[in-house]
Amino acid sequence: MTGVLTLYRTSVGKKVIMALTGFILVGFVVFHMYGNTKMYQGPEAFNAYAVGLRELGYPVFGYEHLLWVARLVLIGAVILHIWSATALTMQSHKSTGANAVSGTRRYGEQKRQTSYAAYTMRFGGIVLLLFIVYHILHLTFGMVGYGPNEFQHPNYLGGHPEYFVYNNVVVGFQKPLISGFYMLAMVFLGMHLYHGVWSMFQTLGLNSVKYTGVLRGLAILVAAAVVIGNLSFPIAVMAGIVGPAV
């Protein structure tokens, strides 16, 4: 089994790392979208969901313990995903950069024969990383995108945790610029997922001419579900469907 630990050395092995960490991250975004649909059930359900995530496994596990396990796995997955992408991109640039005369492109012209999504994985990935950083600073910490006293931090005053995520989402998404940025990021997420989900099977060697249609369909399904679900939240807030808690 120690052979698995040598995977990182080859290009294909790095891709396998990218596929496996991608699988974890796809699972996360699907669950994240599903969990957020609770905002349609009103402030109580949504705020209870935020507390419930922290009480996962309680009382067998301590408060927030399982959540921290999940967070560490996700952070690890993001780091490995970016590391393998960077290493592979550098390898590819070495191959394509040579022989192009300095200052000119590799070819005078190059006509693409395949889908657009596959070409935006790197650029889209960087956009998504910046988005994730902003998203955490915004809705988790309330450090950006809010006026004074708009963001309600969680408290433990009543002896049990109280979260106000419903208020924070509504106030946060009522600003069109911020909602616009979230929606733009979701377009990149959709393209990343469309190519990534199918690629995952290809990289792990589970794709073949028999299944490729099914796997492409699965990729479209996952990408569409996540993007449509996530786009609905800022739209619902701006349209007033999800309004301020009374």
Partner 1 sequence: MKVTLKVWRQKNAKTPGEFKTYPANHVSPDMSFLEMLDVVNQELILKGEEPIAFDHDCREGICGMCSLMINGIAHGKKAVTTCQLHMRSFNDGDTITIEPWRAKPFPILKDLVVDRTSFDRIIQAGGFISASTGSAPDGNSIPVAKPDADKAMDAAACIGCAACVAACPNGSAMLFTAAKVTHLGFLPQGQTERHQRAVNMIAVHDAEGFGNCTNIGECSAVCPKEISLDTISRLNRDIVVAALKGIEPNVETAAAKAS
Residues that bind partner 1 (CB under 8 A): 1-4, 6-7, 10-16, 88, 91-101, 106-115, 118-119, 121, 195, 198-199, 201-209, 212
- CA angle (222 as vertex; 218, 223 as ends), nearest 5: 115
Between 155 and 208, CB nearer to partner 1: 208
Residue 206 beta carbon to partner 1: minimum distance, rounded to whole angstroms:
7
Between 1 and 177, CB nearer to partner 1: 1
Between 4 and 246, CB nearer to partner 1: 4
CB burial of residue 209 (10 Å; 0-12, 13-18, 19+)? exposed
**Diameter over CA atoms, the chain:** 69
Residue 98 beta carbon to partner 1: minimum distance, rounded to whole angstroms:
3
Residue 213 beta carbon to partner 1: minimum distance, rounded to whole angstroms:
13
Task: Count how many residues are written for the chain.
Answer: 246
Q: How far apart, in whole angstroms, are the C-alpha atoms of residue 136 and residue 143?
A: 9
CB burial of residue 71 (10 Å; 0-12, 13-18, 19+)? exposed
Between 12 and 79, CB nearer to partner 1: 12
Residue 123 beta carbon to partner 1: minimum distance, rounded to whole angstroms:
12
Between 69 and 214, CB nearer to partner 1: 214
Residue 128: partners with Cβ closer than 8 Å, 6 or more residues away: 185, 188, 189, 192
Between 174 and 202, CB nearer to partner 1: 202
Residue 16 beta carbon to partner 1: minimum distance, rounded to whole angstroms:
6
Question: What letters, b where the CB count within 10 A reaches 16 and e where it falls short, cover 167-185?
Answer: bbbbbbbbbeebbebbbeb
Residue 80 beta carbon to partner 1: minimum distance, rounded to whole angstroms:
16
Answer whether 170's CB lies under 8 Å from 239's CB.
Answer: no
Residue 193: partners with Cβ closer than 8 Å, 6 or more residues away: 26, 29, 219, 222, 223, 226, 227
155: which DSSP letter? B
